[in-house]
Structure 1
Amino acid sequence: MKGVIMAGGFGTRLRPLTCNLPKPMAPMANRPMMHHIVNLLKKLEVREIISLLYYQPESISSYFGNGSAFGIEMFYTQSEADYGTAGSVRNAFTFLDERFIVISGDVLTDIDLQKAIDFHEAKKAKATLVLTRVPDPLAFGVVMTSEDGKITRFLEKPQWGEVFSDTINTGIYILEPEVLNLIPYQQDFDFSKDLFPLMLEQDMGLYGYVGEGYWRDVGNLDEYQQAHLDILKGNVKVEIPGTHQGSVWIEEGAQVSENAKFEGSVIVGADATIESGATVTNCVIGAKAHVAAGAKLRDTVLWEGSRIGRGSQLTSDVLCQEVEIGDDVVVAEKVYIADRCVIGNEARLLANIKLWPDKEVESRSTVSSSLVWADRWTRELFTNARITGLSNIEMTPEFGAKIGSALGAFAGKGRSVAISRDADNVSRMVHRAMTTGLMSAGVIVNDLQQTPIPLTRSELRNGKQATGVHIRKSPHDRRKTDIIFFSADGRDMPPSKTKSIERLFFGEEYQRAPYNEVGSIFFPERTNESYITSFLQVLDEEAIRVARMKVALDFSYGVASTILPNILGALGPEVVALNGYQDPTRMAREREEIEAAQKKLGEVVTSLGYDMGFIIDPGAEKVYAVCETGASIHNYRLLTILTKLFLETHPDVKKIAVPVVASTEVEMIAAEYNVEVVYTKNTHLAMMEATSDPDIGFVGGTRGGFIFPEFLFAIDGMYAVAKIMEMTVKSGLTLGQLDRELPRRAVTDRTIDCPWELKGRAMRRAMEHSEGMRRELIDGVKIWLDDHDWVLLIPDKERPTFHVVVETAEAEKSAQLALEYEKRVREWKEDSVAIS
C-alpha cells in the first residue's frame, strides 16, 4: 500500500504562525505536523509516500528530501492550480497503481489505521472513510452508516437539527486505484462534495470505519494550542524526541540548569538553554531556544531559536522562530507572535492578539490589538501629526472606528469635529469609519467631504471646533493612506495632543455616549465660497488681471481641480490645465514620476510661450515649478527664488523663516534687504509655529511647501501659485531670470541605511565629532565648516535611514564632503569607539 499526504494547505486560520511556512510544516512537539503523519504511515509498513504540494512547496521538499532519512521513499507532485482534494490526488495517477491511503499532513491522530485497513479488506470496499466521534460535529461533515458500516448519507456542515450522528469524516481515506477513474483530470473535484456522493449514488462499495483513538483537526490557533496540551498530557501517542525523565523530555545538546523548575510536562528541544531560576510549566521549548533566569512560562510553545528575557512571564502563548522577548515582559493569554518579532523590555502584550512577522514592539509599550503586515510598531502611533498605514491592511474600517472613538473622547462629548478627505475609495472608507467612531463618543461631526487640506485648515481657524482630521491617499506611496490631525485652530496637532490620543487609543479608555447622546452629522454650506473670498481679498487682483499671464497647471488628478479654476477665473490668466480631474488611482507619484511630469509641463510651457508652469500636489499643499524656458526648478532653488520675489515686493518685512536644511542662498539674499532669517526644524508643524511671530512675513520650505501668513498659517499650493503670479507681475522679474542671476550654491543630499536602534549611536558620534566646532542643534547636527559651507547630519523620522546634507560653493567639493560624511556615519553606527 502506498501513502498520499495532502500537503498543500495555506493554513490561513493558523496565521500568523503560517505566514512563512505551509500548514503541514507547523511544529508540533518540535517536529513538523507532517513528520508525525510520516511516522504514522511507517507503522502501517507504508514505504512509498507521495506528497501533494501547492503552497510553499520547497519548505516541505527541502525538509523531507527523498525520504531516506525517515526510512521511506518520498515523492512529490505540485498542482498548477487548486483542483480540490480529489482533483489534486488525481494528479498522482501514475504513481497510485495499488491500494493507497490518503491523509492530511496537518492533523494530529493516533487512530489505529491498521484496523481500518483490515475493515476495508473485509468489506471488499472500493473506498473506506475513517470516521471518529466528536461531541460537537457542527463544524465537520457528518457521515451516517448502516450497521455493517456502509455509508448511507453525507451531511456537510449540518445545523443542529441535522445532526443525526456524531461520527464525522476525519479526512483519512483508504482507496482502491480504480476510484481515480471517477475523478476528472485538472478540474476542481472534492472528495466529500463530489467523489463520495457519486460513489454513493452508484453504489460502489463506500464504507465508513469508526476509529478509536485521538484525532484533532489542527485548523485554528486554539486547536494548535490544545493539540500541544494534549501531547503533554499524554492524551495522544506521538513520538517525542529526547531522553524521557519522568514527565520531561530533553533532546541532545540542551542545557538545563539544576535550579530551573519544571512543573507538569515539558519538552525541551535540541541545544535549547534554560537558565537558573526559570519556571517552565506544561511547555514545549524549541530547539536552540533560550529561557533566561527568572522567566516564568506556562502552557506556552516556543519555536526554534526564540529567546525569553530575564523575569518575563508568558501564559498560553505561541512564539514562532527567532522571536526575541526582552526582560520583564508580560505576555497575556493567547498571544501569537510570528517569526523574528522583537519585544522590548518591560513591554505588555494584552490577551488575544497576533503579531505578524518582523514586528518590533518598543520597550515599555502596551500592545492591545493585533499587528498585521506593518513595517514597524513603536510606542508612537503618530509621525508628527499624521498616522500612515497600509490601505485596507492597517488602515481598515475597524482601525478607523477605533481611532475615531479615541479622537472623540479627546475632543469631548458635545464638541464639534471637522472631517474631510480626498477622492480615494480607501479614504472614503476610513472617513466613514472615523465618523461612526466620533459619533459613538457623542461628537458632532462637521463633514466637509472631498476638500483640499488648506481649505479644511481654513475652516478650522476660527477655533469653534475642537479638532479636525483629513484622510488622504499618501502622495508618496500609493499603497498607503494618511490621517492628518489638526488642532482647533487648524494647525498640525502638536505632540502633546497626539500623545493624549495615543493613550486613549492604546488603553481603549474612551467612553461611549448614552444612546440619547450619540453625535450627529452636519454638512457645512458655503465652505468653498468663504475660502475663495478670503483668498482673493489678500491678493492684488487688479495687478494679476491686467497682466493677463499665461500659466500651465498640472493638477495631479487631485482635489485642487475643484477649487482653483474658480479662483483663476476671477484673476483672469490664460490657463492650460493638465490632469485636471480627480482620479484616485493616479494621485500618488514617485519622485521619478514627478520629475517626468515637470519635464512634460516644461515642454507645454515652451511650446505655448507661457510665463510659467506649476504642478500642484493632490492635497493642494505643495507646488513644483517650471520657468518660462521650460526648465524645472528644484525645490531648494525655488525657495531661493521665492525669497527674492517676496522681499522685493514686501519691503516692510522684518523676518522670514526657513528650515535648517535650507540653502545659504536664502541668507545671502535676506542680507541684501537687512531681513533676519529664522531657522526652524524641517517639519510642517515647526514652519506653522513660526507664523505666530507677527514679524515673520514668509515661511519657505525645501519640499515645495510655502506659507504666506497674510492668508493662511499653513502651506497652500493654490495660494502659492496665485502669490507667485502676483509677485512676478509686481517685481517685473521672471522665474527663469532669477534662476540665472541669483547666487547658486551646490547641495548634495545622501541617504544611508540605519536601523532604528543605531540612530542614537550615530547621533551621539556626530555630537562627539562636532565638539568644539561651530554647530546648530535645531534639527539634527548642523556643522558649519566656514561662514557659508555646512554639513547637516539628521536621522529620518519615518524610515530606518540617516541623511547627510552638504552645501558648498562648488559641486565637486559638496559631493566629496558628502561621501566623506557618509563614510563617517556608516562607521559611527557600527563602531563602539568614537571616530574623529
Structure 2
Amino acid sequence: MQAVVMAGGEGSRLRPLTINRPKPMVSIVNKPCLGHIFDLLQRHGINDAFVTLQYLASQIQDSFGDGGAIGMRLKYSVEESPLGTGGSVRQIGDALDDTFIVISGDALTDIDLTKVIAFHRERKAAVTLTLYHVANPLEYGVVITGEDGRISKFLEKPSWGEVFSDTINTGIYVIEPRVLERYKPGEAFDFSKDLFPALLAEGEPLYGYIASGYWTDVGSISEYARANADLLQGRLTAAPLGRELLPGVFTSGDVEIDESAKITGPVFLGNGVKVGPHVEIVGPTVLRDYVTVDVGAVVDRSIVWRNSYIGERAELHGTIVGRQCALKSRVSLEEGSVIGDHCIVNENARVRSQVKIWPDKQIESGAVVGASLIWGAQGRRALFGRFGVTGIVNIDLTPEFVARLGAAYASTLAQGATITMNRDQHRSSRMLKRGLMSGIVSAGVHVADVLQAPLPIGRFHTRRIGAAGGVHVRVSPFDARVCDVKFFDRQALDMDKTQERKVETIFFREDLRRVSYEDVGRIYESPRVGAAYSDAFLAEVARRPCAPQMRLAPTTAPDSICLSGQIFTCARTRACSPMTEWSPTTLPSSSTTRDLRAHCLPTIAPCSSERSPM
C-alpha cells in the first residue's frame, strides 16, 4: 500500500519555532516529527510514500531525499499555492491507482495502521476516517458514528455550544482513489469541508474507525512540549531513543558529563552534549546535539535544540530554546517561555513566563523581558571593547562571524593593501584566524601571514614591511573559552576609535566590499620574522649607550629567559646562558647574541602576572 504524508503545514501556532522550518520538521526528542511518521509507516509495512509540500519545501526534500537512508521510497508533490488537504492529494494524479492511506506529517502517534486498513477493507468503505477520543474537541473535527462505524454526522472545529461528541478526526484516512475523480488535479478542495460532506450526502460508504493507542496533534507550544515529554516517558510505542546511559537518561552518541552533575530522568542527550560541573538537569528534558551546559546551570523540564549554549548558573524552567542560541551566565528563563533560533540572552537577563522571543534577537544584560519580542533585531551595538573584539569561541566568535568581521575590516582599507596576521598557539585561535583571513581576502586585501607568533612580533612586522595594519588572535589570559581579536594600524598601534567605528558601521550595515575573482587577495607566509625581531631588538639595545642597566636571567622555566620584561623561549630544551648583566659599558657578548639568535624566540607571555598592555 502507498501512503500520502501531508507535510505542507506552516505551523503558525508553533511560532517562533517554525519561523525557520516547516511544522513537520520540528524535532520531537531525537528526530523531526515527520521522521516519527516514517517510522510508524515502516512498522506497518508501508515503505512507499508521496509527501505533499508547500511551506519551506526544500528543507524536507534536502533532509530526507529519496528516503533510501531511512528505508523508505519517497516522492514529493510541491504546491505552488495552497490547494487544501484534498487538492494536495489530488495533485499527485494517477500515481494513486489503488487504496492508499493519508496521514499528517505533523502529528505524533502510534495508532495501529494495520487495524485501520483491515477495518476499511472489511466494511468495503469508500473512505475510512481514523477517530480518537480527546478531552477538548474544539480544535478538531467532531464525528458521530453508528454501531457499525458508519459516519452519520461530523462538524469541523465546533464551538462548545456545537460539541456533540468527544470523538475527533485525526487526519488519518484510508481512501479509494475513485472518490477523488470528481475533482481535477490542481483544483483546491478540503477533505473535511468539501469531499467528506459531499460523500455523506450522496450515501457513499463513509466509515470511522475509533482507534486506541496514542495520538496528539503537535499544533501548539504546549502540545509540542507535551509530545516531547510523552515520548520520553514511554507513553507511546516508538523507535528506541538510543542507549540508556544512566537510569532514565538516553543518548544517541558520545556525551561528556562531569561527575558532580546531577541528572534526574527522563532525559535525552544528543551527540556531543557537554554537561559541566555541578549542573542539575531534571526531566522530562531534551538536550539536542552539541548543547553545552556550563558550571552550575539548572535545566528543568526544558527542550534545548542543537548547538546551543547554557551559561554558568543559568536557570531554565519549563522552557524551549531554539537552535544555536547563547544563554549567558545567570540568565533565567521562566515557565512557558520560548527562545527562537540564533538568539543571544546576555548576562543576568530574565525572560518572564509565556514570553516568546523571535529568532535573531539579542537581550541586553540585566534586562527583564515581560512581553514577546517579534519585530526588530536587537543586535550587539558595538564590536570593539577594551581588548579588541572578544567573545566565547563558537558562541560569540563563530567562523561565519569572524569572516564577516574580516571583510568589514578589509573594506575600510584600500583594495590591494597588505596587512599582517598572527596568532597564539591555541587551535581556537587558528580556527578564528582562518575565518578572518577568508573575509579579508574576499575584500581584495593581501595577507602577510606570520603564522604562530606573539603580538609584539606582529606589530614589529607590520612596521617592518609598511603594512596597512595587522590582526592578532589569541586566547584570553582571563578565560580559556574566550578569544581576543586585536587590530592595529600601520604604525602598529591599537586601532583608534574612529577606525573602530568605521569597521562597526560596515559590519552592521553589511556594506562589505566584494571583489571579482581576479582581485581576491593573496596570502603568503612571512619567513624568519622571529629572527628579524630578535636581531632588531639586540641592535636597539646596542644602539643606546646611555640605557640603564639591563638584566638577562633564567626564568623558572628551564627553556626560557627574561629580557627587559619580555620572555624569550629557547627553541631547544635546554637552559639559556646564566645570568648576564648589561650596562652602558658592558654590552652583550657576541656569543650571547648568537645564542639568542640561534635558540630563542619571543613568546606572548609577559614576565609579570599582570596582563600585558600589548
Give yes or no for TM over 0.5: yes
1:345 aligns with 2:53: no
Q: 1:781 to 1:70 in 2, by over 3 A?
A: closer
Supply the distance in 2 between the matched residues of 1:131 and 1:100 (Cα, whole angstroms).
17
Q: 1:165 to 1:792 in 2, by over 3 A?
A: closer
Supply the distance in 2 between the matched residues of 1:798 and 1:369 (Cα, whole angstroms).
31
Q: Aligned runs of 1:749-828 on 2, under 5 Å?
A: 781=497, 800=508
| Cα deviation, residue 247, structure 1 | 1.3
Q: CA offsets per residue over residues 418-455 of structure 1, 9 Å max, x none?
A: xxxxxxxxxxxxxxxxxxxxxxxxxxxxxxxxxxxxxx
Structure 2 residue runs of 5 or longer lacking an equivalent are 383-483, 512-603, 606-610
8 Å Cα contact 1:9/1:54 also seen in 2: yes
Supply the distance in 2 between the matched residues of 1:91 and 1:307 (Cα, whole angstroms).
44
TM, length-normalised to structure 1: 0.47
Partner residue, 1:280:
281
1:2 aligns with 2:10: no
Supply the distance in 1 between the matched residues of 2:381 and 2:508 (Cα, whole angstroms).
16
Q: Aligned runs of 1:410-425 on 2, under 5 Å?
A: none
Q: Aligned runs of 1:306-455 on 2, under 5 Å?
A: 306-376=308-378
Supply the distance in 1 between the matched residues of 2:181 and 2:129 (Cα, whole angstroms).
18
SS, match of residue 130 in structure 2: strand
SS, match of residue 3 in structure 1: strand
Supply the distance in 2 between the matched residues of 1:801 and 1:275 (Cα, whole angstroms).
37
8 Å Cα contact 2:93/2:185 also seen in 1: no
Partner residue, 1:109:
109
Q: Aligned runs of 1:157-236 on 2, under 5 Å?
A: 157-236=157-236
Partner residue, 2:390:
none
Q: CA offsets per residue over residues 624-660 of structure 1, 9 Å max, x none?
A: xxxxxxxxxxxxxxxxxxxxxxxxxxxxxxxxxxxxx
| Cα deviation, residue 362, structure 1 | 2.4
| Cα deviation, residue 236, structure 1 | 2.2
Supply the distance in 2 between the matched residues of 1:781 and 1:199 (Cα, whole angstroms).
74
Supply the distance in 2 between the matched residues of 1:46 and 1:67 (Cα, whole angstroms).
13
Q: CA offsets per residue over residues 469-491 of structure 1, 9 Å max, x none?
A: xxxxxxxxxxxxxxxxxxxxxxx
Q: Aligned runs of 1:707-746 on 2, under 5 Å?
A: none
Return 236-245 or 371-380, whichever deviates more. 371-380
Supply the distance in 2 between the matched residues of 1:48 and 1:834 (Cα, whole angstroms).
66
Q: Which amino acid aligns with 2:264?
A: E
Larger radius of gyration: 1
Q: CA RMSD in A?
A: 3.1
SS, match of residue 93 in structure 2: coil
SS, match of residue 152 in structure 1: strand
Q: CA offsets per residue over residues 535-555 of structure 1, 9 Å max, x none?
A: xxxxxxxxxxxxxxxxxxxxx
| Cα deviation, residue 792, structure 1 | 9.9
Q: Which amino acid aligns with 2:293?
A: V
Q: CA offsets per residue over residues 305-339 of structure 1, 9 Å max, x none?
A: 11111111001111111111111111111111111
Supply the distance in 2 between the matched residues of 1:183 and 1:107 (Cα, whole angstroms).
27
SS, match of residue 35 in structure 2: helix
| Higher percent of residues as helix | 1
1:150 aligns with 2:150: yes
SS, match of residue 265 in structure 2: strand
Q: Which amino acid aligns with 1:358?
A: D
Supply the distance in 2 between the matched residues of 1:231 and 1:324 (Cα, whole angstroms).
27
| Cα deviation, residue 159, structure 1 | 2.5
Q: Which amino acid aligns with 1:136?
A: N
Supply the distance in 1 between the matched residues of 2:500 and 2:170 (Cα, whole angstroms).
66
Q: 1:241 to 1:233 in 2, by over 3 A?
A: closer
Partner residue, 2:96:
96
TM, length-normalised to structure 2: 0.63
Supply the distance in 1 between the matched residues of 2:381 and 2:214 (Cα, whole angstroms).
44
Supply the distance in 1 between the matched residues of 2:314 and 2:490 (Cα, whole angstroms).
36
8 Å Cα contact 2:339/2:358 also seen in 1: yes
| Cα deviation, residue 360, structure 1 | 1.3
8 Å Cα contact 1:796/1:802 also seen in 2: no
Partner residue, 2:80:
80
Structure 1 ranges of 4+ moved more than 4 A: 377-380, 761-771, 791-799, 831-836
Give the percent of matched residue pairs that are identical in Structure 1 and Structure 2: 39
SS, match of residue 21 in structure 1: coil
Supply the distance in 2 between the matched residues of 1:11 and 1:254 (Cα, whole angstroms).
32
Structure 1 residue runs of 5 or longer lacking an equivalent are 381-760, 774-779, 783-790, 804-830
Q: CA offsets per residue over residues 241-294 of structure 1, 9 Å max, x none?
A: 310243111112222233321113001111211122111111001011111121
Partner residue, 2:24:
24
Partner residue, 1:269:
270
Q: Aligned runs of 1:290-689 on 2, under 5 Å?
A: 290-376=292-378
SS, match of residue 40 in structure 1: helix
8 Å Cα contact 2:3/2:102 also seen in 1: yes
Supply the distance in 2 between the matched residues of 1:53 and 1:110 (Cα, whole angstroms).
23
Q: Which amino acid aligns with 2:253?
A: E
Q: Aligned runs of 1:245-260 on 2, under 5 Å?
A: 245-260=246-261
Q: Which amino acid aligns with 1:180?
A: L
Partner residue, 2:34:
34
Supply the distance in 2 between the matched residues of 1:190 and 1:15 (Cα, whole angstroms).
24
SS, match of residue 66 in structure 2: coil
Partner residue, 2:474:
none
Supply the distance in 2 between the matched residues of 1:107 and 1:237 (Cα, whole angstroms).
14
8 Å Cα contact 2:108/2:215 also seen in 1: yes
| Cα deviation, residue 84, structure 1 | 0.4
Q: CA offsets per residue over residues 594-637 of structure 1, 9 Å max, x none?
A: xxxxxxxxxxxxxxxxxxxxxxxxxxxxxxxxxxxxxxxxxxxx
Q: CA offsets per residue over residues 377-407 of structure 1, 9 Å max, x none?
A: 5799xxxxxxxxxxxxxxxxxxxxxxxxxxx
| Cα deviation, residue 232, structure 1 | 2.2
Supply the distance in 1 between the matched residues of 2:150 and 2:502 (Cα, whole angstroms).
76
| Cα deviation, residue 364, structure 1 | 2.1
Supply the distance in 2 between the matched residues of 1:305 and 1:792 (Cα, whole angstroms).
30
Supply the distance in 2 between the matched residues of 1:802 and 1:139 (Cα, whole angstroms).
44
Q: Aligned runs of 1:101-140 on 2, under 5 Å?
A: 101-140=101-140
Q: 1:309 to 1:178 in 2, by over 3 A?
A: same
Supply the distance in 1 between the matched residues of 2:500 and 2:122 (Cα, whole angstroms).
85
Report which structure shows greater RCO (CA 8 Å, sep ≥6).
2
Supply the distance in 2 between the matched residues of 1:798 and 1:361 (Cα, whole angstroms).
22
| Cα deviation, residue 183, structure 1 | 2.9
| Cα deviation, residue 767, structure 1 | 14
| Cα deviation, residue 768, structure 1 | 10
8 Å Cα contact 1:251/1:271 also seen in 2: no
Supply the distance in 1 between the matched residues of 2:308 and 2:144 (Cα, whole angstroms).
46
Q: 1:835 to 1:310 in 2, by over 3 A?
A: closer
8 Å Cα contact 1:182/1:195 also seen in 2: no
SS, match of residue 138 in structure 2: helix
Supply the distance in 2 between the matched residues of 1:359 and 1:59 (Cα, whole angstroms).
23
Supply the distance in 1 between the matched residues of 2:510 and 2:488 (Cα, whole angstroms).
13
Supply the distance in 2 between the matched residues of 1:801 and 1:55 (Cα, whole angstroms).
29
Return 165-174 or 325-334, whichever deviates more. 325-334
